Structure 1
Amino acid sequence: MHNTTFEAPNLSRRSLLKVGLMGSAFLATAGLTATLSGCSASTPKAGFAVLRESDLPFLQALVPVMLAGAVKPAQMPAAVSATIENLDYSLSHLSPEMLKLTVQLFDVLALPITRGPLTGVWGSWQNASAADVRNFLERWQNSPIGLLKMGHASLLQLVMMSWYSRTESWAHCGYPGPPTV
């Protein structure tokens, strides 16, 4: 007769820290590899101050999912475009160190070798469904790896600040706009 009882995994604080450090090292290595291999173009796409051609497919898949419910479907393409423009503007005003970290995050999300295991999106972002993007966001939000949680929070903050700084977003949340002086 086989023993079919399950033993709880012996997860100590030390082993959790080791997993977190290994994950951090993996992400840092992947970002560095993407940068050094030329996978991440360092020049912005024409018309943008910071965003590169390799960043746009991810952002074009991410933004509609994050704005779902706040933007009418007919207005979504214009909202996505405007949000990405504002995001580029915001990124161009970040400190050099914060910009470097954000670019590394975008590199990790664009590089196929890291995108699949970290996000669950194994194909290109252009082929990812809204459900795939939602699953990725949920995966990072609930991850035991702190670095992925920080990545989720950063993406959420960047996109939401870029959208809600636009006047067309104010009506949805009941903001009448700044007072006139």
Structure 2
Amino acid sequence: MAGLSRRQVLKVGLLGGLLLGGAGLAVSLGRPADDPAGGYARLRSADLEVLGALVPVILAGAVPAERMPAALAGTLRGIDDSLTRLSPAMLGLTVQLLDVLALPLTRGPLTGIWGAWSEATPADLGRFLDRWRDSRLALLQRGHASLLQLVLMSWYGRPESWAHCGYPGPPAI
């Protein structure tokens, strides 16, 4: 902040604090309901919308198009199961990430997806994932890594994924 007076720096700091506080309040007021979606232990309806759009893009190339609906359903079940096993701290961070992605106030500016997730094209979703992966902000990079880890661990933990990567399965005893 070279060239700014102390007064200008204080004004910028105060304005930034007010903006962050207002955004935090807006996020907490617009936060998706905490109730799990029907048939799920942890995933909420808003989470299913986000993940339902992202999982096919993340799994593209690993799953043939005709098997994608079954792969999506199984991966969502795997993610839900994984969330039930997370520590409270990690679950809280994951829920916060999904909240940021679900809330329109934060989704648009942070992801470039301004409409509903279900209306985004695979190219839009790919650009969002690339933007977070290549971001200069470590927080967005960690968000990208967390999303990929959540999805890929759930997918590659399923027996139908093993043939694609040449894994013969666990040893038979």
1:132 lines up with 2:124 in the alignment: yes
**Alpha-carbon shift at residue 39 of structure 1 (Å):** 2.9
Query: Taking structure 1 as reference, are residues 66 and 44 closer, same or farther at Cα in structure 2, changes over 3 Å only?
Result: same
Q: 1:170 aligns with which of 162, 168, 171?
A: 162
Equivalences for 1:154-169 in 2 at 5 Å? 154-169=146-161
Q: 1:118 aligns with which of 110, 125, 131?
A: 110
Looking at structure 2, the residues matched to 32 and 138 of structure 1 have their Cα atoms a distance apart, in angstroms, of 29
Deviations 1:101-159 (A, max 9, x none): 10010000011111011001111101001001100000000111110000000001000
Matched residue type, 2:114? W
> Structure 1 residue 180 and structure 2 residue 163: aligned?
no
Partner of 2:86: 94
CA contact (8 A) 2:30 2:103 kept: no
Alpha-carbon distance in 1 for matches of 2:119, 2:153: 26
- 1:109 has 2:134 as partner: no
- What runs of 5+ residues in structure 2 fail to find an aligned partner? 3-15
Query: Please, which of 70, 74, 99 is the counterpart of residue 82 of structure 1?
Result: 74
Give the structure 1 partner of residue 5 of structure 2.
none
Q: CA RMSD in A?
A: 1.8
Equivalent AA in structure 1 for residue 139 of structure 2? L
The aligned length equals 157
Give TM-score, length-normalised by structure 2: 0.85
Query: Do the aligned partners of 1:164 and 1:170 also contact (CA within 8 Å) in 2?
Result: yes
Contact 1:31 1:105 in 2 (8 A): no
Q: What is the DSSP-based 3-state SS (H/G/I as helix, E as strand, rest coil) of the residue aligned with 1:54? A: helix
Identity of aligned residues (%): 59
Alpha-carbon distance in structure 2 between the residues aligned to 1:88 and 1:166: 14
| Segments ≥4 residues shifted beyond 6 Å | none
The answer to whether the 8 Å contact 1:70/1:172 transfers is yes
SS at match of 1:37: helix
Alpha-carbon distance, 1:33 to partner: 3.8
Unmatched runs of 5 consecutive residues or more in structure 1: 1-9, 11-21
Of 62, 66, 89 in structure 1, the residue corresponding to residue 58 of structure 2 is 66
Which structure has greater helix proportion?
Answer: 2
Q: Distance in 2 between matches of 1:165 and 1:29?
A: 41
Q: Is the 8 A contact 1:30 1:108 kept in 2?
A: no
Q: What per-residue deviation string (whole Å, max 9, x for no partner) do you get for residues 10-30 of structure 1?
A: 9xxxxxxxxxxx7xx95x975
Shift of 1:38: 5.0
